[in-house]
Each structure stands twice: as C-alpha cells, then as structure tokens.
Amino acid sequence: MKVISFANQKGGCGKSTIVINLALNFALQKKRVILFDTDPQKSSYETLDIREDKLFKVVAVYSDIYQTLEKYEPYYDYAMIDTPPHDNEIVTVSVVCSDLVIIPVQDSPLDIRSTKVTVDLIRKAKTLNPDLKCYFLLSRIQPQTVLAKELAEILTNLYETDILNTQISNRVSYKYSLIYGKSVTEMFNSDAAATEINDLSNEILNILKS
Ligand SMILES: Nc1ncnc2c1ncn2[C@@H]1O[C@H](COP(=O)(O)OP(=O)(O)O)[C@@H](O)[C@H]1O
Ligand SMILES: [Mg+2]
C-alpha cells in the first residue's frame, strides 16, 4: 500500500480540497483507495460523508496512525492522509510512514515562509525514512499570472525540494463541487479544474511508480 500524506502546517492552503478530489479521482478509476482524516475539524470526513454512494472508505483517526495503516494495508493499494494545520504526533508519524508527502503552498511569499516548519519536519522524517519522496504543489494560484512561476523558483531555491508540474488554480468549481461531496472531475468534467485534478493524479501515480 502506497501512503501519500498532504501536509502543511499553514491552514487554508487547500490540503483537504486537494485530498478529497484526488481520492475521489482514484476511486472513480476503481483504484483501491482509503482516506484517513487526521484533522479534528474533520473537513474531508464530513464532506465525503454527504455522499450517499460512500464510493470509498474514509476514516477519521486522531491517534495510532501507524497501527491504523497496518490494519488496512492488506485491503488497499493507496492510502491518503489529510493532516491538521498544526504540529503534533500524528502529523510526524504520518509523514514518517509515507512514500510521498505533498506540501500544498499558496502563491504568496508569506505562505512560502511559513512552510519552513513543514519542510524541517520532512527533513527530520527523511533520517528515519530515507526513501520518503516530497514535493511542493502550488495551490489556489491565480491563473494566467507570472507570480506562480516566480514563486515556484523561490520555493525550490529556498528549500531545495522539488515542485510538481501540475498547479491547482483558485476556482469556484473547487468550492461548488464540495457542497455535494463531489470532485471537480465528476461535476465539471470539461472544466479546467478537472484537467488539473486528472493531471495531478497522473503525476502522482508516475512518481509512485518510479
Ligand atoms: N483551488 C481552490 N479554489 C478555490 N477555493 C479553494 C481552493 N482550494 C481550497 N479552497 C478554499 O479555501 C479554503 C481552505 O481550503 P482547505 O481545503 O480547507 O484547506 P486546508 O485543508 O489546507 O486548511 C476553503 O474555503 C476551500 O473551499
Ligand atoms: Mg483541512
């Protein structure tokens, strides 16, 4: 089972929005995916609970994430972990137990600076798990601006961490679809947001293969 965590101690950078869309995208492709919501605010858990079809399993878990991952390991190929916007044991253990950590970052210098805490956490985690892969994901960016390009360069230079090619733009469709517990690919299949989520899925699957 490949474990993908979404972490950034800065709240509001789009972790839950991205993990919900991505997990739904995997499930709609009939992949065996499970989502762990470790944030007591339960955004992912409650949003997906709106769905009557309960397309895939979502578990709210606030402790013993290592044991929980072990328990579900035989039944799933992908586990996604949504983490809270603060530093605690469950974030540390989730990161250490991951194959891949995605750090969503908004397109603002203030957000880039406050990401340092998360980057430091991942550096420490790599001493325990040297195979851990980590990428930034520019999130909630203003489409068609040069800002994202310049900030991407600052991010990679500052933290020496790779950045995903896919970027997630700030779009109303990301908010609207979650009213119904749906992904943008389900609700707005021809929308640019659906393309972003499909591209993100493919990019992540390729990273996990390598
Ligand atoms: N790509 C996006 N486009 C528009 N709104 C977004 C996008 N991503 C997140 N949001 C909105 O921003 C707020 C914070 O997003 P959320 O996913 O809860 O972030 P986090 O889990 O990192 O705290 C929510 O109101 C959400 O609807
Ligand atoms: Mg969240």
* Residue ranges covered by each domain of the chain: 2-209
Dist CA 139 CA 13 (whole Å): 7
- Please state the pTM of the whole predicted model: 0.97
Compute, in angstroms, the gap from residue 103 CA to the centroid of ligand 2. Answer: 12
Q: What is the pLDDT of residue 136?
A: 97
* Alpha-carbon distance values, 170 to 175, 176, 192 (Å): 9, 12, 11
* Cβ < 6 A, ligand 1 pocket: 11-17, 43, 85, 140, 168, 170-171, 174-175
Instruction: Please give the class, per CATH, of domain 2-209.
Output: alpha beta
| Cα Rg, the chain, nearest whole Å | 16
pLDDT by residue for the chain (210 residues), tens digit each? 999 999 999 999 999 999 999 999 999 999 999 999 999 999 999 999 999 999 999 999 999 999 999 999 999 999 999 999 988 999 999 999 999 999 999 988 899 999 999 999 999 999 999 999 999 999 999 977 888 888 888 898 899 899 999 999 999 999 999 999 999 999 999 899 999 999 999 999 999 998
Compute, in angstroms, the gap from residue 43 CA to the centroid of ligand 2. Answer: 6
